[in-house]
Amino acid sequence: MKTIIAACSQNLSGSRASIHTALRTLLTAPWPSQRDVRSWLQLLAVLQWVLSFLLLGTVSLLILIYLVFTSFWPISALYLAWIIFDWDTPEKGGRRLPCLRRWPVWRHFRDYFPVKLVKTHDLSPSHNYIIGSHPHGILCIGAFCNFITGSTGFWEMFPGIRPFLTTLAGNFRLPIFREYLMSGGLCPVTRRAIGYLLSKNGTGNAVAIVIGGAAESLSCRPGVTTLILKNRKGFVRMALQHGAYLVPSFSFGENDLFRQVVFEEGSWMRSIQQRFQKMMGFAPCIFYGRGLTSVRSRGFLPYARPITTVVGEPVTVPKIEDPSCETVDMYHEMYIRSLLKLFNENKTKYGMSETDELHIL
């Protein structure tokens, strides 16, 4: 018995010594600095956004389909009934949740790049506006951060103006993802949805449209600034029909966030991308960014490059219910001139050289 007690005492002493050693090692180990903690929070904020953007809709749809074949099938049935009942809500201004715009995670999202909003002219709350957002980039990060989140101070810079951002209508057919989009102030890029915001939602509405769309994303790469705009005139016609002023905006640095494999015009891979884009509304880009653990590894997270979105001077537009093609062309040219002026006046301030030009196709 004495031998057993002595052995137990020796084991306990050894355990206490091991614990003391572990505690001393833990206390002497360097704790993460505030800068490290901020970097981790910023990385997590971007990670949750990328995963939500790329996977939330698809994963939610698969889960609801799976639940149909289990005892939890009423959940899928009830949500399907809700979508049918709520089908037209995205076309009627959506269902904005101000608390989501003020979510603290968006400040970390902003600081990761960082993203900055620059105001050059006032926007009066007595008018409605269509903001042209350029360029598209890969994931429209500048447009999302400035016009959807409250992290860059849009409401403080433009008091009385309610910003909306348009995206593919198909996104609002995906379960759960549609609720997420509407809560932030996104709406479908359709004539009906934009017309509702410009005619039945009072004044002080600013509808941001990424005019180049999916076709423009195919040419996105660092050092190249090419916009698909020359034949994109529908937004000008909408502005004329509703008397909404046209406002150009440009996000400097948007094309530097990812690296893309760009296929030359006329190649069979480019043809597949363009055909897919016409059928599905978005282009299957082959791109990569940084990895989760290191900036030197490859992954799906954007590189930390500064984005500066400059909002330009409004182009005054009259209200004409049935504008002629000549009138549309005239205001389209006025918009392009205003955009070129905005680009040339600010390019050297935000990372571009004096020789860089804006190519409009």
Per-residue DSSP letters for 9-27?
Answer: HHHHHHHHHHHHHHHHHHH
The H or E element spanning position 340 is helix 325-346
How many angstroms separate the CA atoms of 129 and 209, rounded?
11
The H or E element spanning position 129 is strand 129-134
Amino acid at position 303, single letter: Y
Number of domains making up the chain? 1
Going by their DSSP bridges, the two strands 298-299 and 259-260 should be labelled as unpaired
Q: Is residue 31 in some structural domain?
A: no
Query: What is the mean pLDDT of the segment spanning 264-278?
Result: 68
Share the mean pLDDT of the chain: 87
Look at the block and give the residue holding tokens 């089908």: 87
Q: Is residue 14 in some structural domain?
A: no
Q: Is residue 27 in some structural domain?
A: no
Contact 239, 245 (CB under 8 A): yes
Give the pLDDT of residue 293: 84
- pLDDT, tens digit, 9 for 90 and up, residues 319-346: 999 999 999 999 999 999 999 999 999 9
- pLDDT, tens digit, 9 for 90 and up, residues 277-303: 666 666 667 788 899 888 888 888 999
Domain containing residue 257: CATH number:
3.40.1130
Q: Is residue 257 in some structural domain?
A: yes
Q: Is residue 205 in some structural domain?
A: yes
Contact 257, 302 (CB under 8 A): yes
Contact 207, 249 (CB under 8 A): no
Is the per-residue pLDDT at 6 higher than 50?
no
CA triplet 311, 48, 159: central angle to 5 degrees?
Answer: 30
How many angstroms separate the CA atoms of 149 and 49, rounded?
12
Query: Which residue range is the domain that position 355 belongs to?
Result: 36-360
Q: Is residue 244 in some structural domain?
A: yes
Tell me which range, 191-205, 214-228, 257-271, is most confidently predicted by mean pLDDT. 191-205
pTM, entire model: 0.86
Q: Is residue 233 in some structural domain?
A: yes
Q: Is residue 118 in some structural domain?
A: yes
